[in-house]
Amino acid sequence: MVFWILIAVMTAVAALSVLVPLSRARRSADTPSGNADEAVYRDQLSAIEAELKRGLIEPEAAGAARTEIARRLLNAHDAHGQETGRGSRGPGLKFAQGVALVGLPAVAVGIYLLFGAPDLPDAPLSARLEAPAEEQSVDVLIARVERHLSENPEDGQGWVVIAPVYLSIGRPQESARAYAQAIRLLGPRQDWLTDMGEAMVIANQGLVPAEARQAFEQAAAMDATAVKPRFFLALALGQEGKKAEAIEAWRNLLAGAEGTEAWVGAARNELAELSGSDGPSDPGSQTPAPRGPSQEDVAASQDMSPVDRQAMIRGMVAGLAERLANEGGSASEWKQLIQAYVVLGDRQSAEKALEEAQAAYADKPEDLSSIKDVARQLGLTGS
Partner 1 sequence: MIVEFGHYALVLAFALSLVQSVVPLWGALAGDDRLMAVAPPVSVTTFVMVLLSFAVLTNAYLTADFSVLNVLENSHSAKPLIYKFTGVWGNHEGSMLLWVLILVFFGALVGFFGGNLPKDLRAATLAVQGWISAGFILFLLATSNPFTRVVNPPLEGADLNPILQDIGLAIHPPLLYVGYVGFSITFSFAVAALILGRTDAAWARWVRPWTLLAWSFLTLGIAMGSYWAYYELGWGGWWFWDPVENASLMPWLAGTALLHSAIVMERREALKIWTILLAIFTFSLSLLGTFLVRSGVLTSVHAFATDPTRGVFILALLCFFIGGSLALYAWRAPALKQGGLFAPISREGALVLNNLFLTSACAAVFVGTLYPLFLDAVTGEKISVGAPFFNLTFGPLMVPLLIAVPFGPVLSWKRGDLLAASQRLYAAFGLAILMTIFTFWLWGMEKVLAPLGVGLAVWVMAGAVSEILTRVKILEIGPSRAFSRLVGLPGSAWGTTMAHFGVGLTVLGIVTASAFQEERIATMRPGDVVELSGYQLTFDGAAPRRGPNFTEEVGHFTIRQGGIFVAELDPSKRVYTARQMPTTEAAIHTTGFSQLYLSLGESRGDGAVDVRVYFKPLITLIWIGCVIMALGGAISIADRRLRVGAPKPARKRKSAAPAPAE
Partner 2 sequence: MTRKQRRLTLIGTAGVVLATAFGLILFALYDELVFFQSPTDIALTPLPPGQRIRLGGLVEDGSVVRSDNAEVSFRVTDMENTVAVTYKGILPDLFREGQGVVTEGFVNPAGVFVADSVLAKHDENYIPKEVAEALKKQGHWQGENAAAN
Residues that bind partner 2 (CB under 8 A): 348, 351-352, 355, 381, 383
Query: What part of residues 282-311 is at the interface with partner 1 (CB under 8 A)?
Result: none
User: Considering only residues 19-78, where is the footprint of partner 1 by CB under 8 A?
Assistant: 20-22, 24, 26-27, 31, 33-37, 39-41, 43-44, 47, 54-56, 58, 61, 64-65, 68, 72, 76
Give the shortest CB-326-to-partner 2 separation in angstroms: 22
**How many CB atoms neighbour CB 6 within 10 A?**
10
Residue numbers 185-224 binding partner 1 by CB under 8 A: none
Comparison of 125 and 318: residue with beta carbon closer to partner 1:
125
3-state secondary structure string across 212-253 = HHHHHHHHHHHCCCCHHHHHHHHHHHHHHCCHHHHHHHHHHH
Report the residue number, 40 or 331, with the smaller CB distance to partner 1: 40
Q: Which of the choices partner 2, partner 1, none does residue 355 contact, using the CB cut-off of 5 to 8 A by kind?
A: partner 2
Residues 147-166 that bind partner 1 (CB under 8 A): none
- Least distance from partner 1 to the Cβ atom of residue 146, Å: 9
Q: Distance (Å, rounded) from C-alpha 223 to C-alpha 246?
A: 20
Nearer to partner 1 (CB atom), residue 11 or residue 239: 11
Report residue 332 CA to chain centroid gap.
21
Question: Minimal distance in Å, beta carbon 66 to partner 1?
Answer: 13
Report the nearest approach of partner 2 to the CB of residue 378 (Å).
Answer: 14
CB atoms within 10 A of CB 237: 21
Which span (118-126, 182-190, 267-275, 349-357) binds partner 1, by CB under 8 A? 118-126
Q: At its nearest, how many Å lie between partner 1 and the CB of residue 335?
A: 13
Torsion of CA 332, 337, 343, 347, to 10 degrees: -120
* CB nearer partner 1, residue 120 or residue 210: 120
Nearer to partner 2, 82 or 348 (CB): 348
Say whether residue 100 binds partner 1 (CB under 8 A): yes
- Residue 48 Cβ vs partner 2, minimum distance, rounded to whole Å: 25
Distance (Å, whole) CA 193 – CA 219: 6
The smaller minimum CB distance to partner 2, of residues 37 and 355, is found at 355
Please write down the long-range contacts of 225-228, taking CB distance under 8 Å and 24 or more positions apart.
225/256, 226/190, 226/191, 226/194, 227/253, 227/256, 227/257, 227/261, 227/263, 228/194, 228/198, 228/303
Among 318, 306, 301, 296, smallest CA distance to 270 is for 306
323 binds, among partner 1, partner 2, none (CB under 5 to 8 A by kind): none
Smallest gap from residue 352 Cβ to partner 2 (A)? 8
Nearest approach in angstroms of CB 338 to partner 2 is: 14
In the complex with partner 2, the residue whose CB is nearer, 150 or 381, is 381
Task: Name which of 21 and 284 has its Cβ closer to partner 1.
Answer: 21
Residue 18, judged by CB atoms within 10 A of its CB (0-12, 13-18, 19+), counts as middle
Can you tell me the distance from the alpha carbon of 219 to that of 238, in angstroms, rounded to the nearest whole number?
19
How distant, in Å, are the alpha carbons of 259, 268, 274 from that of 290?
A: 13, 12, 19
Applying CB under 8 A, among 45, 140, 169, 226 the residue interacting with partner 1 is: 140
- For the CB of residue 132, give the shortest distance to partner 1 in the complex, in Å: 17
Q: According to CB under 8 A, which residues from 310 to 369 bind partner 1?
A: 369
The secondary structure element, H or E, covering residue 14 is helix 2-23
> Total binding residues for partner 1 by CB under 8 A?
78
Cα–Cα distance measured from residue 257 to residue 371, given in angstroms and rounded to the nearest whole number: 45
Q: Rounded to an integer, what distance in angstroms lies between the CA atom of residue 335 and that of residue 131?
A: 26
How many of the other CB atoms lie within 10 Å of CB of 37? 16
